[in-house]
Structure 1
C-alpha cells in the first residue's frame, strides 16, 4: 500500500474511532450566561418532547385498546424507548454534543426495529439532524464527514423506495454542507480574533518598551547632570576650601570620590547609549513642572480651548517627577486634540505634600475626530506614574468627555 493511501486509511480510522467511542472535551462557553442559556433551552426542549412522547404513548395505548389488531404493547413500549432516547439526546446536547449525537443516531438506526418496522420516525430524524449540527460545529472536518456518512445508513436501510431515500440523503448532505460552512466561518472569525488580539498585545508591549526607553533616556540626562555636579564638587573641593584645612588623606578621599563618580557616569552613558541608538540625541534641557504653562500656551496657539489651573510658583519638585508630570499633561492634551477636536479642555495641577496631582479633562467632541484609531499613550502615561510609585486613571467623564487623573509622589519609592 502506498504511503498516501496508508495515511488516508489511518486518518479515516481515527475519525471513525473518535466519532464512535472517542472522548470529547468540555465546551468552551463564551460566558457563564451563554452556558446557562444553552442548558435551559436544552432542558426545555427535552421536557416538551417528553410530554409529547407521553401523550403519543397514551394515544397509542387507547388506540390499541379500541383496536386490538392495530398494534401490540411491545411496539408501543419500543416507541416509548425511542422517544425517551431522543429526549436524553436533547438534554445532553449542551454538555456532551457528540454523546447526544450517538444516542440520537442509535434511536434513528434501531428505532424501526423497536417500533415494529414502521420506518424512520420524522421527529427522531429531525432531532438527530439538530444534534448533528451542534456536534459538527465543534468537531474537525474529518469527523464531521464521518458522522454525515453514518447518518446516510438508516435512510438506505429503512426506506425501501429510492426517491424518498434520495430526498433524505439530500437533506443530510445539505445539513452537512451548512454545518461545514458555519464551522469554517466560525473558525475564521476565531483565528482573526486571536491574530488581532496577538497584534494588539505586541503593539502594547512595543509601545510600553518604547516609553520605558524614553523614560530611561530622560532620567539619564537628569542623573548625568547630578553626577557631573558631584564630580566637579569632589575634584574642586580641596581648592575651594581654605589652604591648610584639607589634610592629605581627606584630599585623597575627595579624589577617589570624584574618580568613582566619573566612572559611574561613564558606565551609565555606555549602558544608556544602547537606548539612544534608535533615537537622535536631545540637546535641549529636559522639561519640568514649571514648563506646563508653556505647553498649554502652545496648545492654545494650535486652536485648542485649554483652561489651566496651576499655582503661580510651584515648589521645587524632583526632576523625575517634573518630567513625568509634563509628559502626562502633554500626552493627555495630544489625545484630547486627536479624539475630541473642538472640545474644551481643563488642566489642573496641584502641588502639595506628599504628591503632585494632575487632572486633564476634556468635554465631548464638537466634531468628528480625524483620528479614530486606538493609541497607546495611556500605556506610556501609566508606566511613568508607576515608575514613581504613583497611579494614573483614565476613562470616560460623566458628560461624555474623557478624564485623565494622576498622582505622583514627591518622595515615593520607585516601583
Structure 2
C-alpha cells in the first residue's frame, strides 16, 4: 500500500488518453533537445545517461516538482543536456507548488545546486569566479525562474477563473431565489385580489341566476337561458378557483386540458352556437402545460367566434399529428373576424404561451370571409418546461455578466512584474558580463608596439610591469599551439592585435628572473 501511495504521488492521475499522449510527445521533445544540447557539450558525459536522466525527470515533474527542479538545476551545472528539462521543471514547479513560501525555497535550492556543481566543474572550464557566478545567475533566471513565473501565472489564472465561475454561479442562484420569492409574493397578492373581487361577483351572479331559474313567472325558453347563465357563472367560478390555486402554488397542475375541450364545446352548444367538434389521430398523453395551452386556444377561438361572428357555424378540430398537437377553430363569415386580432391581448398571450412551449399560433381571415385560429404544440416535456418561469428566468440571468462587488487585481500584474524583474536582472548581468569581457580582453591583449619594445634579456620584473595583467580564462587554449617551450622556463600568453584568419598569439618565457624568449605566432585554437 505504501509503494502504491508513492507511485500515485509520483505519477498523479487521472491518466486519460489525451494526457498520456501529451506526456509521451513532451518527453520525446525534451529528450530530443537534450540529445542535441549534449552533442555540443565536450565535457565527456555519456549522452545516453544524460538523455535517460532527462526522461526520468520529465516523467516525475508533475508529482514531484520541487525535487525535480533541484536535481535538474544541479544537472545544468554539469552537462548541457539538462537545460530543456530544467525549463519544464521550472514551469511545473511554478504551477503545481501551491504554498507561497515553498516556491522561492525550491528556486533558491536549485540556484545553490547550480552554483555548487558549477564550482566543481570549474576546474575543467577555468572560468573566473565573477564570470561563473554571472553565468549561473543569468542562465538560472532564464531557464528556471522565468518558466516558474509563467507557470505560477497560469496556476493563479486558472484558480481565479474557477473562483469567479463558482461565485458567478452562486450569485445567479441567489438572484433566481430572490426573483422566485418576489414572484410568489406578487402571485399571492394577485390571487387574493381575484378571489376577493371576481369571486364575490361571480358568486352573486350564480345566486341570482339560480333564483331566476325557479321563478314561475319566466317562460321555458327564458329558464333555459338563465340555466345557461348559471352554468357559465359556475364554470367561471371553478376556473377562477383553479387559476387562484395555480397562482398560489408553483407546483399546481395547470387547469384545463384536451379533455376539457369537449365540455367547452357542450357549453357553447347549450348557448345556441352551432359547433362541430372533431378528434383526429391517436390520442397520446400530454404535459400539463401543453394540455392547458390547447384548452386556452380552443377557448379563445370560440370566444372570438361568439363575439365577432355570432350565429355562424364553427368547426373545432383537435388533431394529433406525428410530432405536434394541432388545435384549430374555424368560423364562417358573419362579422369582421380581424377585430379579434386587434381588439385585445388574447391572441398575443396565446402566441407567447405557445412560444414558451416550443410551438406556434397562427390566426387570420379566410378567403370566404371567415376566420381561422390554429395552434401547433409539441408533445415533448422539454418544450413544456420552457414555459416555467424559473427556467426562463434562469436562462436570462445566465446570459448576464455579474460584476464583482470589489475589483480584484489580476494575477497577470504580479507575474508580469516578476517576469520584468527577471529580465531586468538578466539584462544587468549581461551588461556587466559584457563590460567584464571587454576589460578581460583588454587585459589579455599585448599590442605590437609593446611587443617590439620588450627585449630578450630584460628582467622579469621590469617586463611584467609593462605587460597587462592577463586573463587565464581567455588565454588557456593558447598553451596547445605554438613552438615548444624553453626547457626550465615559465611562460605567459597574451593575444596579439594583428588581424588574420588564425589566432594571433604573443608568448613571453622567463627563466632565472630574466626574459629568455618572446614569440609572436598564429595558430588555430
Q: Report TM bin, short chain.
A: 0.3 to 0.5
TM-score by length of 2: 0.34
Rg larger for:
2
